[in-house]
Amino acid sequence: MDLGLHGRRFVVTGGSRGIGKAIADTLASEGADVAIFARGPDQLDRARADLERHGTRIVDVAVDVSDVQALAQAVSEAAKRLGGLDGAVANAGGTIGGNLLESAPEDFAATYQLNVGHAVSLTQAAVPHLSSAGGGSVVFIASITGLRPAPRTTYAAAKAAEIHLAAVLAQELAHLRIRVNAVSPGSIFFPGGSWDRFQQDDPEAFTNFVHTEFPFGRLGTLEEVAAPVAFLLSDRASWITGANVVIDGGQGKPSARRFTT
Residue type, 37: F
Q: Which ranges constitute the DSSP H helices of the chain?
A: 18-29, 41-51, 68-82, 105-112, 118-132, 153-172, 194-201, 203-213, 222-233
Q: Which of 37, 112, 140, 155 is catalytic?
A: 155
Nearest to 233 by CA among 74, 14, 28: 28
Residue of 198, 232, 194 lying closest to 18 (CA atoms): 194
The dihedrals phi and psi of 220, each to the nearest 5 degrees, come to -80, 170
Task: Please answer whether residues 243 and 169 qualify as being in contact, where contact means their C-beta atoms are separated by less than 8 angstroms.
Answer: no
Is residue 155 among the annotated active site residues?
yes
Write the CA distances from 106 to 110, 115, 155, integer angstroms. Answer: 6, 14, 13
Distance CA 261, CA 259 (A): 6
Yes or no: say if 177 and 134 are a contact pair by the CB < 8 Å rule: yes
What backbone torsions phi and psi does residue 124 show, to the nearest 5 degrees?
Answer: -60, -45
Catalytically active residues are 155
